[in-house]
């Protein structure tokens, strides 16, 4: 896949994205966040504004990215509906590998949703 420099300033190679992709993606994300805030501030009702703030809060936590990596689709409503990390995951969390307690790792996909003991503790805290 090749992208035009004027559109995304990136291209796909056999080994992956070329250097600079993360910075382009980060800048695009920042611009989208800014534009979203501008739209919400100008036409959004209080519920919409609160929802945007809640998403901002959620995206600042690693646990939300972990849940998304497992295709569990965290949202403000689904986060509030579950009291614990394990409950959100349908109690299908598995510590893996059990012998490496300091390592912070996560496997994609599931169930079971596999992660290291250190990552589990971090997610439970958040």
Look up the domain containing 83 and give its range. Answer: 62-125
Q: pTM to 2 decimals?
A: 0.60
Residue 9 CA to residue 119 CA, distance in Å, equals 34
Each residue of 27-63: b (16+ CB within 10 Å) or e?
A: eeeeeeeeeeeeeeeeebeeeeeebbeebeebeebeb
**What pLDDT is attached to residue 14?**
47
Residue 55 corresponds to which tokens in the numbers above? 């998403």
- Are residues 115 and 69 part of one domain? yes
Residue 27 CA to residue 111 CA, distance in Å, equals 34
Say if 82 falls within a structural domain: yes
Quick: pLDDT tens for 30-57: 777 777 777 777 776 788 777 777 877 7
Quick: pLDDT tens for 90-114: 999 998 876 766 677 888 888 999 9
Say if 49 falls within a structural domain: no
**What pLDDT is attached to residue 6?**
41
Say if 11 falls within a structural domain: yes
Within 13 Å of residue 103, how many CA atoms lie on the same side as its CB?
A: 12
Look at the block and give the residue holding tokens 């579950």: 82
Residue 112 corresponds to which tokens in the numbers above? 């079971």
- Are residues 68 and 37 part of one domain? no
Q: Kindly tell me if the per-residue pLDDT of 15 is higher than 70.
A: no
């Amino acid at each position: 896949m090749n992208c035009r420099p004027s559109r995304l300033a990136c291209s796909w190679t056999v080994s992956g994205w070329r250097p600079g992709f993360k910075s382009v993606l980060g800048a695009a994300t920042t611009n989208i966040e800014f534009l979203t805030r501008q739209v919400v501030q100008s036409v959004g009702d209080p519920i919409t504004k609160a929802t945007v703030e809640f998403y901002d809060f959620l995206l600042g936590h690693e646990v939300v990215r972990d849940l998304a990596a497992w295709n569990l689709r965290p949202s403000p409503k689904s986060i509030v509906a579950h009291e614990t990390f394990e409950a959100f995951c349908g109690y299908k969390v598995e510590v893996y590998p059990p012998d490496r307690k300091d390592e912070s790792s996560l496997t994609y996909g599931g169930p079971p949703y596999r992660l290291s003991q250190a990552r589990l503790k971090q997610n439970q805290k958040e």
